[in-house]
Amino acid sequence: MAETLFFNALREAIDEEMERDPTVMVMGEDVGHYGGSYKVTKDLYKKYGDLRLLDTPIAENSFTGMAVGAAMTGLRPIIEGMNMGFLLLAFNQIANNAGMLRYTSGGNYKIPMVIRGPGGVGRQLGAEHSQRLETYFQAVPGLKIIACSTPYNAKGLLKSAIRDNNPVLFFEHVLLYNLKEDLPEGEYLLPLDKAEVVRSGEDVTIITYSRMRHHVMQAVKTLEKDGYDPEVIDLLSLKPLDFDTIGASIRKTHRVIIVEEAMRTGGIAAEVIASINDRLFDELDAPVLRLSSQDIPTPYNGGLENLTIVQPQQIVEAVQKMVALKV
């Protein structure tokens, strides 16, 4: 086992896959000589050359479209969005091209590409740099959506995403890059369609993903001291959802709280709640509760910024309230 920073876990995944498969390449703003905005591709251009670590102009629509074409013709491009919010400029290329071409071509083309980079609410990055784009893209057919949350799952999921023959949106949280964890020495892959049961419990199921996993686990420390026994599920795969894992948990606890950093309206939680009500309504002993960010642009002011997103104490209070209703 070796202690590894989150951004280095991602770098290891890219390095290993580029070494294994010569069709894997990276493109984006400052991914080459600068090493990426968060150093995920640091020094890789020295090993693989400037064409496999391709520095692009500041033109997200152009290089995303170029990556789609590269994927159609045999390469496995990895796009780094310097900030995932900038990829709204490439929405057409991601949705109408990457997401749909395998279907609209009658299966004549595969689109094996990964679109990855930092997103989420950082520390005073302002509204345009604090986007949660998973909610924008969840309705697009043909896309797989991953939200990693630890160095271990970041590396294993990214390697699997690079090998997948479909376009994968791979969300990394801007505040997790310096997280440390011991990683196995050997190669490992993680499935792109499975959630992780972070903690087993009996009282209530807490479903979360990305940075909110860590807010939930902070809350769990307080709840355990007070005798509560929550089960925690990290979705990891936002599309498709792993309803085998979700269903097994709900059949045990019969109560659900969803914690997300996405905004409440049209968020991931909204889709999860609809799916739970469709499939597991009779298993519920209480309405599903969601804790989401407020429906406002993220403020620059640090105090106001914290007020817009879910904090651990809110999770504690939600669990206490829901378990108090237990019959």
Nearest to 145 by CA among 133, 156, 153: 133
Q: How would residue 1 be classed by pLDDT, with cut points 50, 70 and 90?
A: confident
Tell me the average pLDDT across 304-326.
Answer: 92
Placement of tokens 């903690």 in the chain: 199
Q: Which helix (H) or strand (E) holds 26?
A: strand 24-28
List the 237-239 sheet strands across, edge first: 53-55, 24-28, 76-80, 114-119, 168-173, 144-147, 237-239
Domain boundary among 158, 181, 204: 181
In a domain, 188, yes or no: no
From the CB of residue 308, how many other CB atoms can be counted at a distance below 10 Å?
18
Query: How many domains, in total, are found in the chain?
Result: 2
Tell me the average pLDDT across 167-186.
Answer: 95
Half-sphere exposure of 177 (CA within 13 A, CB side): 17
Domain boundary among 181, 216, 235: 181
0.85 exceeded by the pTM? yes
Residue 9 · residue 188 · CB < 8 Å: no
> Do 173 and 211 have their domain in common?
no
Q: Which helix (H) or strand (E) holds 268?
A: helix 268-280
Q: Which helix (H) or strand (E) holds 312?
A: helix 312-324
pLDDT of residue 326: 62
> Do 8 and 153 have their domain in common?
yes
| CATH (domain of 299) | 3.40.50.920
Domain boundary among 181, 216, 236: 181
DSSP code of residue 94 = I
> Do 39 and 92 have their domain in common?
yes
Spatial neighbors of 154 by CB under 8 A, at least 6 apart, are 6, 9, 10, 13, 148, 172
pLDDT of residue 53: 96
> Do 152 and 278 have their domain in common?
no
Residue 291 · residue 310 · CB < 8 Å: yes
> Do 170 and 64 have their domain in common?
yes
Tell me the average pLDDT across 98-123.
Answer: 95
pLDDT of residue 264: 93
> Do 212 and 246 have their domain in common?
yes
In a domain, 268, yes or no: yes
In a domain, 135, yes or no: yes
pLDDT of residue 244: 96
> How far apart are the C-alpha atoms of 242 and 251, rounded to whole Å?
15
Q: How would residue 60 be classed by pLDDT, with cut points 50, 70 and 90?
A: very high
| CATH (domain of 27) | 3.40.50.970
| Mean pLDDT (the chain, rounded) | 95
> Do 67 and 208 have their domain in common?
no
> Do 101 and 154 have their domain in common?
yes
Token code pair at residue 94: 């991601």
Tell me the average pLDDT across 136-157.
Answer: 97
DSSP code of residue 168 = E
Placement of tokens 């990891």 in the chain: 236
Residue 201 lies in domain: 196-324
pLDDT of residue 128: 87
In a domain, 96, yes or no: yes
Mark 85-98 as b/e (b = at least 16 C-beta within 10 Å): bbbeebbebbbebb
Residue 175 · residue 150 · CB < 8 Å: no
DSSP code of residue 327 = -
**In this predicted model, what pLDDT tens digit does every residue of 234-262 receive, in sequence order?**
999 999 999 999 999 999 999 999 999 99
Residue 111 · residue 166 · CB < 8 Å: yes
Q: How would residue 3 be classed by pLDDT, with cut points 50, 70 and 90?
A: confident
Q: How would residue 324 be classed by pLDDT, with cut points 50, 70 and 90?
A: confident
> Do 170 and 209 have their domain in common?
no
> Do 114 and 254 have their domain in common?
no
In a domain, 191, yes or no: no
Q: In this model, does residue 327 exceed pLDDT 90?
A: no
- Residues annotated as catalytic are 60, 129
Tell me the average pLDDT across 185-190.
Answer: 94
Spatial neighbors of 191 by CB under 8 A, at least 6 apart, are 160
> Do 57 and 176 have their domain in common?
yes
In a domain, 187, yes or no: no
> Do 45 and 164 have their domain in common?
yes
Token code pair at residue 313: 């104490």
In a domain, 114, yes or no: yes
Q: Which of 32-36, 63-67, 128-132, 254-258 has the lowest mean pLDDT?
A: 128-132
Residue 177 · residue 203 · CB < 8 Å: no
In a domain, 190, yes or no: no
